[in-house]
Each structure stands twice: as structure tokens, then as C-alpha cells.
Amino acid sequence: MSIGLLGYLIFPQSARGAGSAGVHLLVGPCCADYLVDEGVECNSTSDLLMERSREQSVIHLLIPSLMLLILLLQKLQEAGEQHRNTKLLNGLLRLHREVSPKLAACSDDFSSVYSGSALDMGTVCNLVVSAVACWPVYGWTPSLFQCLLESGPSNVSIALGPKEACGLLCLLGDLFPDEGIWLWKNGRPSLSVIRTLCVGTSIGLHRERDINWYMQPPHFEKLLSRLSPLLDKIAQISLHFTFSALVVVKDLLRVLIVRVACQKLEYASVLVRPVLSWLDDHVSESISLSDMDVFKVQRLLFFLASLLEHPCGKMLLLNEGIVGFLGKALGQIADAFTADDKLITESKVPEKSLLRFTTWCWPVFKSFELICDDGTPLSTSKMHEKLL
């Protein structure tokens, strides 16, 4: 398998002609329309099956090609070569942007029909991440994280659409070790399950350590040091997408935050502080909130409750004073049920005011339930031991 094949797969337009729209990967009917590109039209069931078969063959060719590429990049480093290849890095990122949204779109229906495709796509994403990790770990140019976060407009969060956000969060999350899917109390993210199974299933358990080479201590510290200056920008992206109705994107976001918290709690704090600051400002001024802001507060409360499902997320939010934020929200809910110290049964509270704030009840009470759960948060050192 040659690197020429990899280039053919990454840059299909130049190789196949202007009529191609890129590496299109079809997934099942469970896919969300907002994550799947338009442009692939099949006139019959047989056309659909042929297209899916063709694309599965592309995925099967990509896996050994990417493994060979990783080996060659590591040989360059061993030879002391300062590798500068902007086209290759951008091509790999483009490939990841094509595959990761399709993986995310079919992850919610991890059934027997699509499980093989999901695992293979997850393997391709992991292999791409393993390859692009060479740039920050080895100090190559251009900078991986600048290509991801600084090549676009200054306000990246607004410029990113759902597909781009999905690719970015998926790549950043895969740079960190698994958070331990068994540690989630409820609502285990399906993409975490796929990530845990994909490489071992598609390539073999004996190759996982080689693919995840960048997670080993000497390399991982270098990777973190390159990422840390851009945490504030990632935090603004996080704030923007916590308001999203897209479950897939928010799952990727909470997995990223929890994985960062498992490794460095202070880095995860940077990611959640804009969310908590926005929540504090708006809960404190709830009387003047618009209906849209009340809805956004509800979204944030649900997101914070989902972070509390994991011990590392729980430890992070407790350190950031989540109880105080929930207490303020609970106070606003209580105020909605009373007026001038009289019970609502006396009809002293406008119905609209009551309904606006009762939507906060479920996430607030759910958060308190998770905080008071008997399973106490593990210390950082114990968490690392459990994850190994």
C-alpha cells in the first residue's frame, strides 16, 4: 500500500476529476441530516447499496495506508528530519472532517447493521489523529492547533458549523486517553464506546499501544504544552455549542471536557469557566431575562448535569462551585412559586412567569441528585490508576 493511494483518497477531486464531491461516506437512515453532506444521490436501493459498498472499500484501504503513513512519519523523526508538509497536514485534517461527522451521525444507532462501518470509521479517525499528533509532539511546522483554531476568522465559534464543530471536538477528544466508559453513571456517550472498541476490533489489541503512541508520558506532556495556550479559544467554542440542540455535538463536548479533567483539572477548569460565568450572570438577573435566555439557561443546566454523570466531571464542577450556581437557580425557581411571601395557590404569581422557570427544575434537581450520590469522586491520582 503506497502513500500515493493515501493522497488519492485524501484529494479525490484532483484524482478523479471535478465531478467528485469528496470522500462521501454513507451511513444508515439514523443519520442526522445536519451532519451529512448533500450531493450523493442514489436513484434506487441497489444504487445505495453499491455506493455504500464502494465507500466501505475506501475505508478498508485507508486503514493500512494510514498505518504506513504513521510508521513513515515516525521514521522521519528518528532520522532527525524536520518535517514541513502543510499539504499533508491539511489533507489529513480534511479527511478527518469528512469521516468524523458521519461517524458521529450513526453512533446513536450502534446496531448490528451499521456497527462494522462505525468501528471502521472510528479506526480511520483514530489513525488520522495518531498521524497528525506528530506535528505538535515533534515540534513540526505548521502548528496543528493553529491550523485547527487560528486559520479562520477571529470569532471561530460563530464561523464553525455543526459539521466543522463535530470534526474539531472529535479530533481534540481523541488526543486524550479514554475517560473510562464504565465510569459514566448514566447516559454513556456512544462515541466513547466506539472509540474504546474500534482500534482493537479493526486492527487488533496488540496494535493499540502503537496507534496511541502520543498518549505515552514523554509525548503527552509535549502535546499538552502545545495545546494549553489555545484553551481559552476552545472554551469560547465550548460556550457557543453548549446552547446547541445537537446531542451529538454536546456529547463530543462533554467527553472532551471530562477527558481533559481526567488528565489536568486546571485545564478543564479553563474550558468550563465561560459556561459557569455566563450562567451566573444570567441566573442572577433572571427577572429581566428574555424567553430565549431562560431557554439557554435550561440548556446549560442540562449540560452541567451531563458532566456530573462522570466522577471527573463531578470533581471538576464541585471545585468550580457548582453548588452555588445551582442554589441561585433553585432560588429563582422558588421565587416563581411565591409572591410577596404568599403561596401560589393565592394566584399571586403570573402563569407565564411560573412556566418560564419551572423548565429549570428537572436539570437542577438531577444535578443535586448526582452530587449527593453515594459514589464519591475519585482523587486525580486514583482516577489515573483506574484508567490505566
Stated pTM of the model: 0.82
* Cα distance between residue 271 and residue 226, in whole Å: 16
Q: Are 65 and 6 in contact (CB under 8 A)?
A: yes
Supply the pLDDT for residue 144: 92
Greater confidence (321 vs 186) lies with: 321
Average pLDDT, the chain: 79
pLDDT in tens, 23-55: 344 333 333 444 555 454 555 677 777 777 787
* Cα distance between residue 7 and residue 69, in whole Å: 11
Supply the pLDDT for residue 108: 63
Supply the pLDDT for residue 318: 96
Supply the pLDDT for residue 366: 93
Supply the pLDDT for residue 198: 86
Q: Kindly report the three-state secondary structure assignment for every residue of the chain.
A: CCHHHHHHHHCHHHHHCCCCCCCCCCCCCCCCHHHCCCCCCCCCHHHHHHHHHHHHHHHHHHHHHHHHHHHHHHHHHHCCCCCECHHHHHHHHHHHHHHHHHHHHHHCCCCCCCHHHHHHHHHHHHHHHHHHCHHHHHCCECCHHHHHHCCCCCCHHHHCCHHHHHHHHHHHHHCCCCCCHHHCCCCCCHHHHHHHHHHHHHCCHHHHHHHCHHHCHHHHHHHHHHHHHHHHHHHHHHHHHHCCCCHHHHHHHHHHHHHHHHHCHHHHHHHHHHHHHHHHHHHHCHHHCCHHHHHHHHHHHHHHHHHCCCHHHHHHHHHCCHHHHHHHHHHHHHHHCEECCEEHHHCCCCHHHHHHHHCCHHHHHHHHHHHCCCCCCCCHHHHHHHHC
Supply the pLDDT for residue 206: 82
> Residue 178 corresponds to which cell in the numbers above?
479514554
pLDDT in tens, 295-308: 899 999 999 999 99
* Cα distance between residue 125 and residue 358, in whole Å: 41
Supply the pLDDT for residue 58: 87
Residue 124 has pLDDT above 80, yes or no: yes
Which range, of 98-112, 283-297, 336-350, averages the lowest pLDDT?
Answer: 336-350
Residue 388 has pLDDT above 80, yes or no: no
Supply the pLDDT for residue 6: 52
Among 203, 216, 221, smallest CA distance to 264 is for 221
pLDDT band at 192 (very low <50, low <70, confident <90, very high): confident
Supply the pLDDT for residue 171: 95
Supply the pLDDT for residue 247: 86
Supply the pLDDT for residue 161: 81
pLDDT band at 207 (very low <50, low <70, confident <90, very high): confident
Residue 22 has pLDDT above 70, yes or no: no
